[in-house]
């Protein structure tokens, strides 16, 4: 498999009240195309900062991030915005959507704004409806965002993240605001997308979520202290054993 994300000596430093806070310290790892990678670690360990920096949502202080052949440190703001729009998808714990738009219009918005895709608005809308049907929320197309459940809204966010056929989906605690049933439904959809070839990198504190990933990175104080290669998630009957294996390893890591 080809490497789609290659991170070398990545550092991120914030200056607050004239004091330096080194959040990421010489981080190195790679993500291959088709992988589903979870990032875990204690609160304040740098998980979300890592996700935002690797995806170009936040600028790195030093080091390199190569995404699908692009060196992110060499891109200007407009180039970075185009790359995020066309080659990356994003899902967050807080389901940010435009309040004045319907569920469908929120989903197709990145597709309408993309300059790369040679598709009419009608074709983008058809694709949005197809994605909604695939995720079982087609009946919510004309609803406002406050007229659907949290699980439905997060599945709509997954549809939106897929509208431009991204190389990688970045997800920051995608199930964190959901109940257990909705969490399992959302993870089922992410696993399906991954099996269909979409690379996924997500941050989570939930062992049940991470156990469905093929690899887990453990970060402490801005450094990756270890990784666990669980392998591709197959049958639901394997999940409990994967959870036990991962929990044991996390305890060894100091979880």
pLDDT tens by residue, 18-70: 888 899 999 999 999 999 999 999 998 999 999 999 999 999 999 999 999 99
Going by C-alpha positions, the residue among 1, 4, 2, 61 that lies closest to residue 27 is 61
Please check whether residue 154 is in contact with residue 182, taking contact to mean a CB–CB distance below 8 angstroms.
yes
**Dihedral of the alpha carbons of 152, 123, 88, 175, in degrees to the nearest 10:** 10
In this structure, the number of other CB atoms found within 10 A of the CB of residue 215 comes to 20
pLDDT at residue 3 tops 80? yes
Residue 17: per-residue pLDDT: 82
What's the whole-number mean pLDDT along residues 155-174?
Answer: 94
Share of the chain above pLDDT 90, in %: 79
- Please give the DSSP secondary-structure letter assigned to residue 36: E
CA-CA distance, 171 to 183, in Å (whole number)? 13
Residue 117: per-residue pLDDT: 63
Share of the chain above pLDDT 70, in %: 99
Mean pLDDT of the chain: 93
DSSP alpha helices (H): ranges in the chain?
47-54, 77-87, 103-113, 121-134, 150-162, 180-195, 207-210, 239-253
Cα dihedral across residues 32, 33, 38, 43: positive or negative: positive
Coil/strand/helix, residue 251: helix
pLDDT at residue 228 tops 90? yes
CA-CA distance, 151 to 159, in Å (whole number)? 13
Domain ranges of the chain: 3-253
CA-CA distance, 153 to 119, in Å (whole number)? 25
- DSSP lists the bridge partners of residue 32 as 3
pTM assigned to the model: 0.93
Phi-psi region of 63 (alpha: psi -120 to 50; beta: other; left: phi over 0): left
pLDDT at residue 211 tops 70? yes
CA-CA distance, 161 to 128, in Å (whole number)? 11
Residue 186: per-residue pLDDT: 87
How would you write 40-108 as a 3-class SS string?
A: ECCCCCCHHHHHHHHCCCCCCCEEEEEECCEEHHHCCHHHHHHHHHHHEEEEECCCCCCCCCCHHHHHH
Name the more confident of 19 and 242.
242
Q: Label residue 196 by pLDDT band (50, 70, 90).
A: very high
CA-CA distance, 233 to 238, in Å (whole number)? 8
Residue 116: per-residue pLDDT: 65
Tell which CATH architecture fits domain 3-253.
Answer: 3-Layer(aba) Sandwich (3.40)
């Amino acid at each position: 498999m080809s490497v789609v994300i290659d991170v070398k000596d990545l550092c991120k430093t914030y200056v607050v009240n004239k004091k330096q806070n080194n959040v990421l310290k010489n981080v190195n790892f790679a993500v291959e195309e088709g992988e589903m990678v979870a990032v875990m670690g204690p609160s304040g360990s740098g998980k979300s900062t890592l996700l935002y920096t690797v995806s170009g949502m936040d600028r790195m202080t030093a080091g390199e991030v190569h995404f699908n052949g692009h060196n992110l440190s060499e891109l200007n703001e407009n180039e970075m915005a185009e790359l995020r729009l066309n080659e990356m998808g994003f899902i967050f714990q807080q389901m940010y959507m435009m309040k004045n738009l319907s569920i469908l219009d929120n989903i197709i918005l990145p597709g309408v704004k993309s300059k790369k895709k040679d598709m009419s608005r009608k074709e983008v809308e058809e694709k949005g409806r197809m994605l909604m049907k695939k995720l079982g929320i087609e009946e919510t197309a004309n609803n406002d965002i406050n007229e659907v459940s949290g699980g439905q809204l997060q599945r709509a966010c997954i549809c939106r993240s897929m509208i431009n056929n991204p190389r990688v989906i970045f997800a920051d605690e995608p199930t964190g605001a959901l109940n257990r049933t909705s969490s399992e439904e959302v993870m089922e959809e992410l696993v399906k997308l991954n099996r269909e070839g979409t690379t996924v990198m997500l941050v989570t504190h939930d062992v049940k979520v991470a156990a469905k990933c093929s690899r887990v990175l453990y970060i402490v104080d801005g450094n990756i202290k270890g990784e666990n290669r669980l392998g591709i998630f197959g049958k639901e009957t394997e999940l409990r054993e994967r959870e036990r294996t991962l929990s044991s390893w996390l305890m060894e890591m100091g979880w």
